[in-house]
Amino acid sequence: MPRTKNVLAFVMAGGEGSRLHPLTAERCKPAVPFNGKHRIVDFVLSNLVNSEIYSIYLLVQYKSQSLIEHIRQSWTMTRFIPQHFVTVVPPQMQNGPEWFQGTADAVFQNIHLIEEFRPDIVAVFGADHIYRMDVRQMLEFHQAHDAHVSVATLPVRLAECNQFGIVQTDGGGRITQFMEKPATAQPMPGSSTHALASMGNYLFNADMLLDALKRAKAQGQNDFGRDILPSMLQSHRLLAYDFATNEIPGAAPYEEHGYWRDVGTIDAYFQAHFDTLGATPRFRMTNRQWPIYASPDQAESAQIENGIIHRSVVGSGSIVDGARLDHAMLRRSVTVERDAQLSHCIIMERSRIGQGAQVRRAIIDQDNDIPPGERIGLDPATDRQRFHVTDSGIVVVPRGYFPPLQQLSPTPLATRRPALPAAGASRWANA
């Protein structure tokens, strides 16, 4: 097993997540809640900590306060190993009055952290995915093959290539071409339907990363996938690490091997939740040998007075009183009143579903008091007048759209829909 004490990790947590709006109206993408009590960022941080990589800088940018508070409350490294850290790093503008202009620029603006730490290897990982990964196995691959850069990869359908960095390799796994989100791509060897995609997780030999960052800055280049990796192909050994070979201790035989989801859209985010439900889920949230750490939970136990509940999660502090739940995901302190019906829903913190309300194929963001008898997800035309609705019909109710009844404004509901955000300032921010 490789020495992990000389690995420094940068987690790219600055994504605006415009495709997840309105869930990202007041928070960045890595801070978006997931499942019963997690946030998206918890997956990459748990993978690093479980892999004995404890020196982690989290680079933030867009609407980061919620994420900063989550890290402060949940990721104090004294819980694990006191001498190591998870530290949030906002844009410090040491090289001028500008925000991070891309993933590589974000690391370059903090190049002094690498120079001071003096690691052997720098891990640059994304913060937007749902998966388990033993990074030590990728490190072992990197060192055993004398790689200068290793890129974690997996197959994706050809129709999805425009959403990923696509790599082509020779017979020995060396990367011969790296294309960032191409419109079309050649299939990978042995397949006519899939191409090999980057997961956005990289290992760099530290000295070579420093040189590449400085050259990129001099040439006005700001992005790993678009600029740095393609420019290193001729002069360095870039290898594709096959994520399918990664073995996780404690994984159940019924789980999808190599489960990884980019939850950058409402539809993907919604579906990933239901991959965790049931007695034999595709992705089991509970794994004592490879836990996904969550924020400390001070809420009381959930209380179920009565009702009919099928394949659902009821978070701590929640109350279900005579309701019907079918594929419902309740986070903390949610109240579902008598005769309410929830079907294929995600209900976030401190929300209340009023008596007799019906909610179907919807995401209810936190702090919503759904009125008694309300119908959401049953009338597409009406829903589109009030809410964001995806092409597949998933309804998203923004945070606080329905305030507590005693605080309701006389303003008609249809005028209270929040405006879509303006385009972000950088390619990274719009990821």
DSSP 349-368: TT-EE-TT-EEEEEEE-SS-
Q: Does residue 407 belong to any structural domain of this protein?
A: no
Q: Which residue has the tokens 């960095």?
A: 165
Contact 61, 90 (CB under 8 A): yes
Q: Does residue 351 belong to any structural domain of this protein?
A: yes
Which CATH number covers residue 67? 3.90.550.10
What is the model's pLDDT at position 260?
98
Q: Does residue 424 belong to any structural domain of this protein?
A: no
Structural domain that includes position 52 = 7-262
What is the model's pLDDT at position 171?
81
In this prediction, the residues of the chain whose per-residue pLDDT falls under 50 are 1-4, 97, 407-427, 429-431
Residue of 111, 123, 117 whose CA lies nearest to 49? 123
What is the model's pLDDT at position 406?
53
63 known member of a binding site: no
Both 354 and 205 in one domain: the answer is no
Both 177 and 103 in one domain: the answer is yes
Give the chain's mean pLDDT.
Answer: 89
Both 19 and 126 in one domain: the answer is yes
Both 145 and 233 in one domain: the answer is yes
Q: Does residue 279 belong to any structural domain of this protein?
A: no
181 known member of a binding site: yes
Q: How far is CA 296 from CA 4, 6, 180, 313, 316, in A?
A: 27, 29, 38, 18, 11
Q: Domain count of the chain?
A: 2
Q: Does residue 371 belong to any structural domain of this protein?
A: yes
Both 351 and 251 in one domain: the answer is no
Both 189 and 106 in one domain: the answer is yes
Which CATH number covers residue 339? 2.160.10.10
Both 253 and 312 in one domain: the answer is no
What is the model's pLDDT at position 295?
80
Q: Does residue 324 belong to any structural domain of this protein?
A: yes
- Say which DSSP state 174 is in: B
What is the model's pLDDT at position 78?
59
Q: Does residue 416 belong to any structural domain of this protein?
A: no
Tell me the residue ranges of DSSP E strands in 146-250.
Answer: 149-157, 165-169, 175-180, 194-205, 238-242
What is the model's pLDDT at position 92?
63
Distance separating the N- and C-terminal Cα atoms of the chain: 34
pLDDT tens string 118-169 = 999 999 999 999 999 999 999 999 999 999 999 999 999 999 999 999 999 9
Tell me the residue ranges of DSSP E strands in 94-185.
Answer: 121-126, 129-131, 149-157, 165-169, 175-180
What is the model's pLDDT at position 431?
46
Question: Is the backbone of residue 356 left (phi > 0), alpha (psi -120 to 50) or beta?
Answer: left
Both 80 and 226 in one domain: the answer is yes
pLDDT tens string 313-359 = 999 999 999 999 999 999 999 999 999 999 999 999 999 999 999 99
Both 344 and 231 in one domain: the answer is no
Both 239 and 98 in one domain: the answer is yes
Q: Does residue 161 belong to any structural domain of this protein?
A: yes
